[in-house]
Structure 1
């Protein structure tokens, strides 16, 4: 199990932090931190929301998705956010690595168990699976690979559908910090994505394996400029877009569908134009 973290009550403005700005109440997402060290490290740097991430890669047949682990089983007491009187909020995240179309069927078949997670992400490995994830799968995040060259080109139709559905695209930056080759892949893949999505619904995450690899929101926003984001989109990628992804997860868990019925008005017999010819003859008699 690994974790996702979101920064609270800080905003980025021209590379500077402003404390107490509630409009940026959710910030950087760091999905792959070791849970206890991450919670303590997140508390020290001001994180207020931490999500434990369960990664599933279907390597065996009939592999099932486990239920999320209860927070009480992992933490005896929740750390208090630095500068705040409230404890860190713990969420659960499920990341599914899909490399075969049958994996999507497993996701649909286990939807009742998947719905138990606060955030659901999918990591498609092929162009066909990326198209399915954007257009059909009931998920909150679509992960973009940054550790290798993209095996396919992004196309506008599925990305536009994902944006309309409220699905976000996740880029991670810690591989770019650790390795120069991955840095080239990260920037190249990010630029390819920005050419199509124009910075909409993009989230920049850390994927940090150690707390020291976490960067502050202003540093991450500056990285967003290297990824081809505008200044406003870079701010949103570490703030409001992250909050929107969490809210999208809440909606996915609670909303199933809406049916609207409209009563069709009955035609008036006084209107000659709406009457059949036989009824018109009777009326004239």
Structure 2
């Protein structure tokens, strides 16, 4: 199952674009909406599984939430943020409750991509998006696309990456195997390049579902009654204390079973 998690919502021939995506073999698509108000509640498609996604560009270094407080999280299936400087990238990687960190790959990034920072985001389950649509439209943007994609791959060690079209019209959509080949040109091996359209995208949706439905949940387990004859205790030295048949406690080394 192939995914494209970034298709522009503001386009005249949206139905045609979705039909082309289906023809190419994509099963799941996220329609991208830049957050400047509400998203249409009647946005549906009968040809492909459509998610709603918001892309929120950062406004300033001092913005503590990058504009996310103005959103209703339940109105969107996926949340993404596009940092424009190092301060907002730090905020996105370490603090923001989003699913995707995207980058404007069509122009030169004005900040360094540090492995330590991306590792923190990976530990939180976030994914990083490379978009190729601008590279289809413009030759100069294509050069920046390759430079930025390779820098992102180095910073992430090839982990937690997704590749999306950011298509503004049907002609900008590429087939999944063409995108996989593009990923290998960026420097990924074939298997990892394929995961940017499949398993990694699926992980993004699972992360979104957990963020929206299981936030700060707590599970409690009730312990059962232990018979005195089967009393067990574990002390700090890693030894197991058990009662023998005569009621006397004997120390036995705890053994790990494989």
- TM-score, normalised to structure 1, is 0.70
Q: Which residue of 1 aligns with 2:4?
A: 28
Mapped pair 1:79 → 2:59: no
Mapped pair 1:159 → 2:118: yes
Deviation by residue 1:57-77 (Cα, 9 ceiling, x = unmatched): xxxxxxxx634322xx345xx
Q: In the aligned structure 2, how far is the partner of 1:180 from the partner of 1:244? A: 32
Q: Which residue of 2 aligns with 1:182?
A: 141
Report the CA distance between 1:260 and its aligned residue.
6.4
Residues 224 and 117 of structure 1: is their aligned pair in 2 closer, same or farther, counting only changes over 3 Å?
same
| Aligned pair partner of 1:66 in 25, 32, 37 | 37
Mapped pair 1:252 → 2:211: yes
CA contact (8 A) 1:169 1:202 kept: yes
Mapped pair 1:55 → 2:34: yes
Report the CA distance between 1:212 and its aligned residue.
1.6
Unmatched runs of 5 consecutive residues or more in structure 2: 223-258
Report the CA distance between 1:26 and its aligned residue.
4.0
CA contact (8 A) 2:6 2:165 kept: yes
RMSD: 2.3
Residues 105 and 41 of structure 1: is their aligned pair in 2 closer, same or farther, counting only changes over 3 Å?
same
Residues 262 and 40 of structure 1: is their aligned pair in 2 closer, same or farther, counting only changes over 3 Å?
closer
After TM superposition, list the pairs within 5 Å mapping 1:92-111 onto structure 2: 92-105=52-65, 107=67, 109-110=69-70
Deviation by residue 1:165-191 (Cα, 9 ceiling, x = unmatched): 111100011222222211111111111
Equivalent pairs counted in the alignment come to 219
| Aligned pair partner of 1:89 in 41, 46, 49 | 49
SS at match of 1:139: coil
Q: Which residue of 2 aligns with 1:37?
A: 16
| Aligned pair partner of 1:230 in 189, 197, 213 | 189
CA contact (8 A) 1:176 1:182 kept: yes
Residues 191 and 51 of structure 1: is their aligned pair in 2 closer, same or farther, counting only changes over 3 Å?
closer
Higher relative contact order (CA 8 A, sep 6+): 1
Report the CA distance between 1:257 and its aligned residue.
0.9
Residues 26 and 224 of structure 1: is their aligned pair in 2 closer, same or farther, counting only changes over 3 Å?
same
CA contact (8 A) 1:26 1:243 kept: no
Residues 46 and 230 of structure 1: is their aligned pair in 2 closer, same or farther, counting only changes over 3 Å?
closer
Greater mean deviation of Cα atoms: 29-38 or 156-165: 29-38
Q: Which residue of 2 aligns with 1:46?
A: 25
Residues 231 and 46 of structure 1: is their aligned pair in 2 closer, same or farther, counting only changes over 3 Å?
closer
Mapped pair 1:200 → 2:159: yes
- TM-score, normalised to structure 2, is 0.77
Q: Which residue of 1 aligns with 2:105?
A: 146
Report the CA distance between 1:52 and its aligned residue.
2.6
